Structure 1
Amino acid sequence: MSSETKSRKPARKMRTQRPPTAWDIDADEKRNDDGDNWAVLLLTKIFTSQRPVAELVIDYTNCDKAGPTFVRIPENSYSVNFPNSDSNGEPPEYKAIWGVGSANNITWPTTKCTVKINLPVKLIKPVFVYYRLTNFYQNHRRYVKSLDAKQLSGVARDASELKGGSCDPLATVLENGVLYPIYPCGLIANSIFNDTFSLFLNPLESTTNNNKSYILTDTGISWKSDMRKYGSPGYTNLSAIRPPPNWKKFPNGYSEDSPPMDLSKDEHFQVWMRTAGLPNFRKLYSKNEQDDLQSGTYTIDIDMNYNVTSYGGTKSIVISTVSFIGGRNPFLGIAYVVVGVLCVVLGLLFTARHLYKPRRLGDHTYLSWNQNAAASNAATAHPATSATATGASVRY
């Protein structure tokens, strides 16, 4: 039996017998307890670090139904968190103004939403503005794959190269029997968020700076790793390409007077193309890292171009400061606290177990084969006792 078992061993060569390189943690009860305690302190610190983050979230989905005069926004459509103030200020209001947009002799109806907010405290720079969408499944497999990486990088892909590829059904368009490539192609580019925000200040302490614009920039809102994925348009003949069907700012297509955007510099586009993993998400729209957002009354002008009611979603504007771990995220903090509490409980249980019945680390006597060997040795040393225990008679 033993020879058969040994014959199955691999050849004793360096490649088969050499143990893999590994880092073994010499863990004992004390180290485990210390690790749990440090985890509690770290996770609790992460949770409490989000408390100073100021945040204002306003859902303006139904602003177009408000009318031309300011009305109070429903309580379930906004949330306010100003940790350094005893008051959250006056409830926000909004109104809608309807107009007509035009470009290249083409007109269409427009809606501008004006939101009025009150900040009781100064928001310390940097200040970030996000847009938030709900019920939008950017993580759908067909949606995530709906792009052409070569085209986005600046390669001029013709209709024959795009047709039947990952961009379908928004890869090409047929006009008068001619097949034109769409630039940029795909579902992601076609559904880009196109509402715009402008922020104006009416300071509480001043009467001379009404409608002073708070400068927001979109420079630096995209990841540097994302910027490297995009290049300038590779098409020289602009009449040979077509914009995505949802891009209303190009009603007559591309031309020398209305060229396609440079994707290598359009950071709004780059941010949108990084798809979200959950149906409710926010994306960075702009920021101000130079000036604090002073206390006062503000108006936010929003050009409402993006349709969310067609798929049962909502859209919101978010104004927020940040902590050393980012913006306000209660779910993340609560999850950390839960893990921290679990570490406390486990630490107490391990400590009590160690105090009640300590055990030397790496005690080989507890291994099953060592216990069997010890039992065999005991039986050999005391045969009479062993035989009596098994019911056998012993003769002398």
Structure 2
Amino acid sequence: MEMKLKDNLSRLPDNTAMKQQQLPACHFHFSATRILTAFFAIGALCLVMGIILILSSKSAKTIEINYTKICANCAKLQENAFNFDKECTCSIPFYLPEKMQGNVYMYYKLYGFYQNLHRYIRSRSDSQLLGIDIKNVEDCAPFEKSHNGTPIVPCGAIANSMFNDTIILSYNLNSAIHIKVPMLRSEITWWTDKYVKFQNPSSRNLSNAFAGSTKPLYWSKPAYELDEEDPGNNGFINDDFIVWMRTAAFPTFKKFYRRLNRIQHFTEGLPAGNYSFNITYNFPVTSFQGEKAVVLSTLTWDGGSGLFLGFAYTVTGAMTWLVLFSMIAAHLMLKKRKTFFLQQ
């Protein structure tokens, strides 16, 4: 009996404040006034932020031109998807009513193009895009090899469907003088994409590094010749290629294409006046009933001209105040009922 008692005592936790759960505790007791004040402050903050974001977004200047129907003749030549034998160029004049001050950015916009399909997103080779093994195409179905068994570089459905229209912006001083607006294709990607997720093979000569491979089926030139003007912008680190490889979540999306080089006539931005887009039409959209547009836009301190964030803050603030007023009404009713019972 004594042995059993000793065994039971040995199993007891130590007589300390921690193990006996005797540590001092703090219990918060919020009064109705404090809770209602907190809800009021949060709602007010969200409403103010929402209004500021909406006004800021509206201050951004944006012009969008849908050129699907305007370049309809070119679209007819592209009935067979990515038909490079029948290249077509169309010119789209437009008028800029007011100056676009500061940095101006050009985007291409696609309607009805779904990049968020699982098989589409998975059809790529990360080891290839990192320059580790460019012949690794096992995850790139159905665009891993050509008809004669040569590995495709870069392989996969995403790379194969890369947007390849060429868009040139011209400033028309008069009917005779057309100035090509200087645009830059550098610094249009995320830093992590450019210097971490995409790397060329270690070989100094890219054409040698890509030997024994072939270009994607719908490309007009191999990856190491994507940029004829800047040899350092070729291969897997080509800016246009990297931008396209970051897939969009929704079927209607726009992607960074160029940014204004603020020199000569454009040091302060794009002046008001007559302009034109000269577009080499390569990317077909009629096969999936899609559309294409080109967008010129300035940016604000909080980003582009999207109103979603501003509306989100405004709705959150309004809902918080709605809950606040409901809580005030419930609190007054309970207080009135409590007073009534105390008087009985």
**TM-score range relative to shorter protein:** 0.7 to 0.9
Report the alpha carbon displacement of residue 349 of structure 1 after superposing the two structures with TM: 3.0
- Asked whether the equivalents of residues 132 and 316 of structure 1 are also in contact (C-alpha less than 8 Å), the reply is yes
Q: 2:257 aligns with which of 261, 285, 295?
A: 285
Q: Quote the residue 2:200 is aligned against.
A: 232
Q: 1:211 aligns with which of 175, 178, 195?
A: 178
Measure the CA separation in 2 of the matches of 1:12 and 1:322. Answer: 64
Matches within 5 A, 1:21-170: 28-65=35-72, 108-158=85-135, 161-162=136-137, 165-170=138-143
Matches within 5 A, 1:266-277: 266-277=238-249
Measure the CA separation in 2 of the matches of 1:269 and 1:322. Answer: 23
Measure the CA separation in 2 of the matches of 1:315 and 1:33. Answer: 45
Q: Quote the residue 2:190 is aligned against.
A: 223
Q: Quote the residue 2:152 is aligned against.
A: 182
Matches within 5 A, 1:264-343: 264-288=236-260, 290=262, 291=267, 292-343=269-320
1:262/1:12 Cα in 2 relative to 1: closer, same or farther (>3 Å)? farther
Q: What letter corresponds to residue 168 of structure 1 in structure 2?
A: A
CA deviations on 1:223-282 (whole Å, 9 max, x unpaired) are 0011121112467364410110000235xx989xx9997335411111100000111111
Report the alpha carbon displacement of residue 66 of structure 1 after superposing the two structures with TM: 5.9
- TM-score computed with the length of structure 1 as normaliser: 0.66
Q: What letter corresponds to residue 213 of structure 1 in structure 2?
A: K
Secondary structure, counterpart of 1:28 in structure 2: helix
Secondary structure, counterpart of 1:231 in structure 2: coil
Q: What letter corresponds to residue 30 of structure 1 in structure 2?
A: T
Larger Rg: 1
Measure the CA separation in 1 of the matches of 2:97 and 2:20. Answer: 71
Report the alpha carbon displacement of residue 298 of structure 1 after superposing the two structures with TM: 0.2
1:305/1:32 Cα in 2 relative to 1: closer, same or farther (>3 Å)? same
Percentage identity across paired residues of the two chains: 30
Measure the CA separation in 2 of the matches of 1:313 and 1:200. Answer: 26
Unaligned runs of 5+ in 2: 1-11, 78-83, 337-344
Secondary structure, counterpart of 1:56 in structure 2: strand
- Asked whether the equivalents of residues 43 and 318 of structure 2 are also in contact (C-alpha less than 8 Å), the reply is no
Measure the CA separation in 1 of the matches of 2:29 and 2:189. Answer: 40
Measure the CA separation in 1 of the matches of 2:211 and 2:19. Answer: 63
- Asked whether the equivalents of residues 56 and 320 of structure 1 are also in contact (C-alpha less than 8 Å), the reply is yes
CA deviations on 1:76-112 (whole Å, 9 max, x unpaired) are xxxxxxxxxxxxxxxxxxxx9x9xxxxxxxx822111
Secondary structure, counterpart of 2:64 in structure 1: strand
1:28/1:243 Cα in 2 relative to 1: closer, same or farther (>3 Å)? same
Is 1:262 the counterpart of 2:262 in the alignment? no
Secondary structure, counterpart of 1:108 in structure 2: helix
The structure with higher relative contact order (CA 8 Å, sep 6+) is: 2
Q: How many residues align?
A: 297
Measure the CA separation in 2 of the matches of 1:275 and 1:335. Answer: 24
CA deviations on 1:179-234 (whole Å, 9 max, x unpaired) are 2111001000000000111111124xxx5992112111111100001112111246
1:191/1:35 Cα in 2 relative to 1: closer, same or farther (>3 Å)? same
Q: Quote the residue 1:200 is aligned against.
A: 170
Matches within 5 A, 1:373-388: none
Q: RMSD of the alignment, in Å?
A: 3.5
Measure the CA separation in 1 of the matches of 2:29 and 2:271. Answer: 52
Measure the CA separation in 2 of the matches of 1:300 and 1:40. Answer: 40
- TM-score computed with the length of structure 2 as normaliser: 0.75
Unaligned runs of 5+ in 1: 1-10, 68-95, 99-106, 360-396
